[in-house]
Amino acid sequence: MFYRIISRKRDKNKQSGYKMKEISRIIRKLYNSYTKMPMKLRFLLVLTFFVLLFVFSVSINQNVVNEENQNNESNNIKNGRENGEGRPNEVDNSTPITKEVTVVIDPGHGGEDLGATKGDLYEKKLNLDISLKMGKLLEDLGVNVVYTRDKDIDVGLDERVNIANRINAALFISVHNNYMPNDAGYKGTETLYCTPVDTDENKMDGQKLAAIVQNKLVSTLKTVDNGTIYRPNLVVLRKTNMPAVIAEIAYMSNSSDRAKLTDEGFRQKAAEALTEAVMEAFKFMKVEKDESGEWMFMD
């Protein structure tokens, strides 16, 4: 055993010694032929050598610079995504960039715009009252709430949309009440939506939100169920970037609905139903409270 190992080592030493000799022989040969060359050719050869060396070093340098640029670029893209920059109007309807969750509550009409009226009953006032009650309930649950108006003022439809889009709201809930001019018998609750139906069943959209809101309203208020209605031409539904609905709580033109609406307990119940709808939508959207008590997208 020992002998074998030693002999192998010797072989190796022999081999590498042979290689070294071979290399030095080749170098000597090259040097000899170099010295035998005419002066001009020798000069040209040295020059070519240095030119090649220069080109080689420049190309290596260029590669390093390119690599650095690529790294910077990918960093910029990453930072841009994290800050939500550079994608102002191509926001996906159901995946907000920011992780914190805000619900925008939009009390219909206001100020000069009374909405529907019946005697001294103004739609704008009913809408605001239900909205403020709803906002209070949501805030009690720790949800960030932003109102498009929280007092009796006129706010343009585009401004209402901008408020929600600017803060990247998770949901947009508009509160209205209805009026049927020529049919006092018509009554009940309906929820309007517009967002195109998302083929992804796991994503919240206007239609899904409308179904949840409508369900909670009619089961809580025991009003007539007029269902959800696709309304593609309403500004606050069409231009908002997030799942949005208009909840038409009841008909001011119908005497029994009107009696309900003038009852504060009914308006409180409407606010509770809307709050429950938001909670159910949150569950679907995987919005949960984190350790610090903030409602966040968990996906």
Which residues contribute to the site for Zn ion (CB under 5 A)? 108, 115, 176
How far apart are CB 109 and Zn ion at their closest, in Å? 6
Q: Which is nearer to Zn ion, 224 or 234 (CB)?
A: 234
Q: Which is nearer to Zn ion, 101 or 163 (CB)?
A: 163
How far apart are CB 127 and Zn ion at their closest, in Å? 7
How far apart are CB 113 and Zn ion at their closest, in Å? 9
Q: Which is nearer to Zn ion, 176 or 187 (CB)?
A: 176
How far apart are CB 89 and Zn ion at their closest, in Å? 27
Residue at shortest CB range from Zn ion: 176
Q: Which is nearer to Zn ion, 96 or 115 (CB)?
A: 115
For 265-280, letters b (16+ CB in 10 Å) and e give ebbbbbbbbbbbbbbe
Q: Which is nearer to Zn ion, 115 or 206 (CB)?
A: 115
Residue 25, φ and ψ in degrees, nearest 5: -65, -45
Q: What angle do CA 267, 268, 273 make, to 5 degrees?
A: 95
3-state secondary structure of 131: helix
How far apart are CB 123 and Zn ion at their closest, in Å? 5
Q: Which tokens is 194 given?
A: 């517009």
Distance CA 256, CA 192 (A): 22
Residue 144 bridge partners (DSSP): 102
Q: Which residues 6+ apart lie within 8 Å of 173 measured at CB?
A: 103, 104, 105, 106, 134, 213, 244, 245, 247, 274, 277, 278
